[in-house]
Structure 1
Amino acid sequence: MQAILRTAFPLPAGRARPFTWPWQDRAGRFSALRAVVFALLMLPAAWVAGEVALGLLGPEPWKAALKEIGLWTIRLLLVTLAVTPLGKILAEPRILALRRLLGLTTLAYAVLHLVLYAGHENFGLWKVASEIVRRIYLTIGFVALLGLAALGWTSTDGWIRALGPRWKRLHSLAFPIAALGVLHFYMQSKTVVWEAVMAAGFLAWLLAWRALPAGWRGRLPVLVMLAPFTVLAAALIEYAWYAAATNLPAERILLANLDVSFGLRPAVWAGVAALAVPLLAGAWRLRQK
Structure 2
Amino acid sequence: MKFPWNDRAGQLSAVKIAALVAAFIPLILIVTGYKANILGPRPITQAIHETGDWAIRFFLISLAVTPLRNITRWSKLVLIRRILGLTALAYAALHFSLYIVDQNFNLWRVVSEIWLRIYLLIGFITLLGLTALGVTSTDAMIRRMGKNWNRLHRLTYPLAALGVLHFFMQSKADVTEATLMAGFLLTLLLYRSAHARDFKLTSVWTLIGIAILAALGTALIEYAWFALATRIPPTRVLFANLSFSYSIRPMWWVLGAALAPALWIGIKSATNRESGKFNPVSAKQR
State how far apart, in whole Å, the 2-side matches of 1:262 and 1:53 are: 33
Q: Choose which of 92, 95, 99 in structure 2 pairs with 1:110.
A: 92
Q: Do the aligned residues in 2 keep the contact of 1:186 with 1:196 (CA within 8 Å)?
A: yes
Letter of the aligned partner of 1:79 in structure 2?
I
Letter of the aligned partner of 2:260 in structure 1?
A
**Which residue of 2 is the match for residue 10 of structure 1?**
none
CA RMSD of aligned residues (A): 1.8
Q: Do the aligned residues in 2 keep the contact of 1:201 with 1:271 (CA within 8 Å)?
A: no
Q: Do the aligned residues in 1 keep the contact of 2:211 with 2:258 (CA within 8 Å)?
A: yes
TM alignment of 1:197-208, pairs within 5 A:
197-208=179-190
TM alignment of 1:58-207, pairs within 5 A:
58-207=40-189
Matched, 1:233 2:217: yes
Letter of the aligned partner of 1:166 in structure 2?
N
Larger radius of gyration: 2
Q: Choose which of 19, 27, 31 in structure 2 pairs with 1:37.
A: 19
State how far apart, in whole Å, the 1-side matches of 2:92 and 2:222 are: 24
Matched, 1:266 2:247: no
Q: Do the aligned residues in 1 keep the contact of 2:199 with 2:206 (CA within 8 Å)?
A: no
Matched, 1:24 2:12: no
Identity level (%): 47
- Alignment gaps of 5+ in structure 2: 276-286
**Which residue of 2 is the match for residue 7 of structure 1?**
none
Matched, 1:54 2:36: yes
- Alignment gaps of 5+ in structure 1: 1-18
State how far apart, in whole Å, the 2-side matches of 1:123 and 1:151 are: 27
Matched, 1:248 2:232: yes
| Mean CA deviation greater in 157-166 or 178-187 | 157-166
TM-score by length of 2: 0.89
* SS of corresponding position for 2:11: coil
Number of residues paired by the alignment? 271
**Which residue of 2 is the match for residue 8 of structure 1?**
none
Q: Do the aligned residues in 1 keep the contact of 2:184 with 2:254 (CA within 8 Å)?
A: yes
Q: Do the aligned residues in 2 keep the contact of 1:201 with 1:270 (CA within 8 Å)?
A: yes
The structural deviation recorded for 1:194 is: 0.9
Letter of the aligned partner of 1:244 in structure 2?
L
Q: Do the aligned residues in 2 keep the contact of 1:234 with 1:270 (CA within 8 Å)?
A: yes
Q: Do the aligned residues in 2 keep the contact of 1:90 with 1:284 (CA within 8 Å)?
A: no
**Which residue of 2 is the match for residue 15 of structure 1?**
none
Q: Do the aligned residues in 1 keep the contact of 2:15 with 2:77 (CA within 8 Å)?
A: no
The structural deviation recorded for 1:161 is: 1.8
State how far apart, in whole Å, the 2-side matches of 1:49 and 1:287 are: 45
